[in-house]
């Protein structure tokens, strides 16, 4: 995109303004670090534009306090709003107590709530953090996700993070970024640290 210009201008009957203001489905996937970090950066931009933002975390437990959540809670009023929900079973490698069926039911309930909000156009941006995992585990039906995102009303952006995004999700997304790990401190035995991982 030289000088911010698209390489192709489609013959779709839309004006440049109409095309520019289309609501997007964005997917941040891949094995590299930065998927959620990029999505929260996008949410911060949206907040600055006065958007109503809904953050839904599917794998992180409510007991974990992430730096992003604390930072958003400290933002001054007057711009956008941020509503935060944690509905997951804890970190993917250390799940909270409960059966697989309990976790699947929690994920399905969370997705049902998001669908309800999309239908009523409650948020300008939905950040579905680590949402690829419940899809991959079969807890949320990918065809239902595709239909909901494809047919969502109004002007609602959706950003989804997580490894191994389902090909059907990639197909319907407008923007897909794959984070590729080249090198990571954990490769040398270093654990996560404050300000970098949380």
Mean pLDDT calculated for residue range 58-78? 73
The domain segmentation of the chain, as residue ranges, is 22-152
Mean pLDDT calculated for residue range 6-34? 85
- Position 89 scores a pLDDT of 52
Taking only the tens place, the pLDDT of each residue in 71-110 is 888 888 778 889 988 875 543 434 455 667 777 888 888 9
pLDDT band at 8 (very low <50, low <70, confident <90, very high): confident
CATH number for the region 22-152 comes to 3.40.50.300
- Residue 112: phi and psi, rounded to 5, are -60, -40
- Position 189 scores a pLDDT of 80
Rounded Cα–Cα distance for residues 85 and 102 (Å): 17
Q: Residue 106 contacts by C-beta under 8 Å, 6 or more apart in sequence?
A: 87, 88, 89
pTM for the structure as a whole: 0.86
Taking only the tens place, the pLDDT of each residue in 114-142 is 999 999 999 999 999 999 999 999 999 99
């Amino acid at each position: 995109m030289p000088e911010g210009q698209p390489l192709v201008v489609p013959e779709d009957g839309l004006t440049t303004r109409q095309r520019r203001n289309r609501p997007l489905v964005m997917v941040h996937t891949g094995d590299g670090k930065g998927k959620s970090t990029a999505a929260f950066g996008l949410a911060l931009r949206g907040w600055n534009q006065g958007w109503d933002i809904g953050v839904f975390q599917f794998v992180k437990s409510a007991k974990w306090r992430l730096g992003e959540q604390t930072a958003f809670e400290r933002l001054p009023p007057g711009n956008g709003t941020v509503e935060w929900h944690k509905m997951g079973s804890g970190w993917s490698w250390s799940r909270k107590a409960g059966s697989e069926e309990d976790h699947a039911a929690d994920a399905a309930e969370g997705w049902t709530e998001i669908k309800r909000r999309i239908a009523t156009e409650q948020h300008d941006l939905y950040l579905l953090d680590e949402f690829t995992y419940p899809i991959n585990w079969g807890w949320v039906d990918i065809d239902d996700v595709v239909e909901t995102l494809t047919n969502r009303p109004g002007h609602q952006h959706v950003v989804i993070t997580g490894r191994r995004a389902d090909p059907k999700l990639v197909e319907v997304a407008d923007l897909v970024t794959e984070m590729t790990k080249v090198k990571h401190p954990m490769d040398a035995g270093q654990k996560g640290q404050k300000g970098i991982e949380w």
